[in-house]
Structure 1
């Protein structure tokens, strides 16, 4: 049995290469377990690549939705009819984008589920506070971002958020950091500045 990479017939990714098992190769001197482990190693690498590509698709979708939201909320000098046309067009594109669902599941134990729930609750509170007090919301977002990083800006770290974040899986921690970075980018686009 020999493992040869052969092109996949899948049309979604031309770079996906799966092993082909040749059981007629009698010249192979390795034992069957070693050969099977080699095959599984190749497959595990492909699964990780697939997960990474799916994460990238999720991120692309979020960026598209964010851009559409920015277009809809842009303060351009449009009359009411033009604004209505633009919003209808943006809504149509947004609804089309929402028909795409990409989901990568992360295995979590009960404590990790609770930690992620707490982190999401804190971030949701931050987003809700954006409408009431954008300056305070930005400062809190920076303190949350500092909890995600070893490089601390302005020396402020939210310890409650950091504690909850440390209870999350590494995949969740990466996603939370990206989500917070997206919020900080939104603050920057909105030109929300602190009163320091």
Structure 2
């Protein structure tokens, strides 16, 4: 639950209006019956909720940026542009490149804390996904079938097909945040296969 603290002297906090309404300790408050430790912990709880909210919003911005880049890439490779006269095609491509460059000026970086085992697990997961991507053009049907087995490893409810146990084992060694990102990446690949109308091989 997101907490938006309101001004209060009885709680031991005083609203700091200089930074987005975040609270700070009112050290001059002698009325609050709570101990100094309780007051500090209460403040930290509120600030922690704001930090988690910030991470969620940053993750959403990162996802929005990726979707924009993907859409721009789709527009640049559409058959409509190929069919345009040379002059018109150049104008459209330059416009698309300008928007792409503008979008790339936005950088959102969320660091995930990992121990050595989690780093190794994520490396293994990325290696397996990269090997899948490498065979998309040469054998899209098999690639989609394998992608589905990876996706099944991300869900406790397998709708159809089998689960890749090697991928599942590596994924379970990753952090929760990395597991969510991997699932989104695989979902993006499946959406790509659907656009290509690829039928997976059982």
For normalisation by structure 2, the TM-score amounts to 0.87
How many Å separate the matches in 2 of 1:126 and 1:7? 51
Runs of 5+ in structure 1 lacking a partner? Answer: 10-15
What pairs up with 1:127-146 in 2 under 5 angstroms?
127-146=133-152
SS in 2 for 1:132: coil
| Partner residue in 2 for 1:126 | 132
**In the alignment, which residue of structure 1 is the partner of 2:166?**
160
- Deviation by residue 1:5-40 (Cα, 9 ceiling, x = unmatched): 44453xxxxxx5411322222111111000000011
Deviations 1:72-128 (A, max 9, x none): 121224334433332222222112111111111011011110110111111111112
Q: Which is worse superposed, 89-98 or 107-116?
A: 89-98
CA–CA separation in structure 2 for the residues paired with 1:45 and 1:5:
16
- Which of 93, 96, 108 is 2:99 aligned to? 93
Q: Secondary structure in 2 aligned to 1:20?
A: strand
The unaligned stretches of length 5 or more in structure 2 are: 1-10
- Measured on the aligned residues, the alpha-carbon RMSD in Å equals 1.7
Output the CA distance in 1 between the equivalents of 2:157 and 2:131: 24
Alignment length (residue pairs):
190
Q: 1:190 aligns with which of 193, 196, 201?
A: 196
Q: Rate the CA distance shift 1:8–1:119 in 2: closer, same or farther, 3 A.
A: farther
SS in 2 for 1:33: helix
- Change over 3 Å in CA distance of 1:6–1:170 after alignment to 2: same
- Assess if the C-alpha contact under 8 Å between 1:142 and 1:153 holds in 2: no
